[in-house]
């Protein structure tokens, strides 16, 4: 059934079961924001073109009309100002949900993110909370120009005081965004822009599933693939292809990039005894290094091979015509799996 926009901009389709809808990731995020605005008058949505236009990816489409220009409003083209304003609003008792249009546009706001957003609670000895959820359309896959496709998760995760999360599908987008905005901590919400139009079933009843930690996206027994954001779907494709050759792959969707759910990682790898981490960001000091080290620390005695990383390269994120060479593809992931499965200790 083709999607039709509701009054809030969220795609509306017939539910496949009670309490569920078929939505794109974009529509699921829109619905989550609509419900959050309706339930809490302190929730505000702000950013460049989020009001009348509904955002570059239309995630905020219809929200200003439904909730008013005082709750959903446009800002000047100044990311440092957007974050500074959001921090001030949060200190005054609001729950701002600012958006930067593209991941690379977050660089001008790094001072506010690092020295203010991540530290105010600590600096005030717990007297001040800054419940800001910064929405960041992230990663590549849409053939965009420079600064419109970046992988900043390791930058954000390195900042004390911040939580970092990335949904992989419409259900995760809906549930994780609602959980993030309701938290009293600052959260960086990294939305995989290449997956905005992916459709899936979304159960819209709060509390239907656990939104803490990582999740097992596919059960398996021979090897664990760990990914987040857009790479989860790619790893699930790889797992299906590997199954044709009798290789049973478990896929872990990390979801929360900070704090990392080490327990779920350890349980999975203790079972499979092998692990491959996949992400779009460059290899050196990427978040995969932290994930691989945690697996090694917890599972050293049971690992049959070193933890492999399949990543982007140590170059600036390329323009659209080179994305296919940069982003980990199915063949690169399969070769990584093969290396781990065939590894023999000297």
Cβ-Cβ contacts under 8 Å for 27 (sequence gap 6 or more): 3, 9, 10, 11, 170
Strands 163-165 and 187-192: parallel
- Nearest Cα residue to 60 out of 37, 81, 29, 91: 29
Determine the 3-state secondary structure of 164 from DSSP: strand
Residue 181's H or E segment, with its range, is helix 170-182
Measured distance CA(84)–CA(261) in Å, rounded: 30
Round to whole Å and give the CA distance between 325 and 342: 25
As a whole number of angstroms, the distance between CA 92 and CA 161 comes to 19
- CA-to-CA dists, residue 47 to 86, 318, 324, angstroms: 10, 26, 31
Q: How far is 155 from 152, CA to CA, in rounded Å?
A: 5
The DSSP secondary-structure symbol of 316 reads P
The answer to whether residues 310 and 297 touch, using CB atoms and an 8 Å cutoff, is no
Centre a 10 Å sphere on the Cβ of residue 23 and count the other Cβ atoms it contains.
26
- Residue 138 pairs in a beta bridge with 192
CA angle, 181 then 153 then 229, to 5°: 75
E strand or H helix that includes residue 135: strand 133-138
Please identify every residue annotated as catalytic.
148
- Rounded to whole angstroms, the Cα distance separating 44 from 40 reads 9
């Amino acid at each position: 059934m083709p999607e039709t926009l509701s009054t809030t901009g969220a795609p509306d389709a017939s539910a496949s079961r009670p309490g569920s809808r078929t939505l794109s990731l974009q529509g699921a995020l829109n619905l989550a924001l609509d419900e959050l605005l309706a339930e809490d008058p302190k929730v505000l949505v702000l950013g460049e073109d989020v009001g009348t236009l509904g955002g570059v990816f239309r995630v905020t489409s219809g929200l200003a009309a439904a909730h008013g220009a005082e709750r959903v409003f446009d800002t000047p083209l100044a990311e440092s100002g957007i974050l500074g304003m959001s921090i001030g609003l949060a200190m005054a008792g609001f729950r701002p949900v600012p958006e930067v249009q593209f991941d690379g546009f977050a660089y001008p706001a790094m001072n506010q993110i690092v020295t203010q957003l991540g530290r105010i609670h600590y600096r005030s000895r717990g007297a001040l909370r800054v419940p800001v959820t910064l929405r960041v359309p992230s990663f590549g896959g849409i053939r965009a120009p420079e600064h419109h496709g970046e992988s900043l998760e390791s930058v954000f995760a390195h900042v004390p005081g911040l939580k970092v999360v990335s949904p992989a599908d419409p259900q995760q987008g809906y549930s994780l965004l609602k959980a993030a905005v309701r938290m009293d901590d600052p959260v960086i919400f990294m939305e995989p822009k290449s997956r905005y139009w992916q459709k899936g079933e979304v159960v819209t009843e709060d509390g239907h599933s656990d939104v803490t930690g990582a999740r097992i996206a596919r059960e398996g027994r021979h090897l664990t693939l760990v990914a987040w954001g857009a790479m989860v779907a790619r790893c699930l494709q790889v797992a299906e292809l590997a199954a044709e050759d009798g290789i049973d792959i478990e896929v872990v969707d990390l979801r929360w990039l900070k704090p990392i759910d080490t327990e779920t990682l350890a349980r999975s790898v203790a079972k499979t005894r092998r692990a491959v981490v996949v992400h779009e960001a460059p290899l050196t000091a990427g978040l995969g290094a932290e994930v691989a080290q945690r697996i090694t620390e917890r599972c050293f005695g049971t690992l049959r091979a070193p933890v492999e990383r399949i990543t982007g390269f140590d170059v600036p994120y390329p323009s659209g015509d080179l994305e296919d060479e940069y982003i980990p593809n199915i063949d690169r992931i399969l070769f990584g799996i093969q290396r781990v499965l065939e590894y023999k200790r000297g």
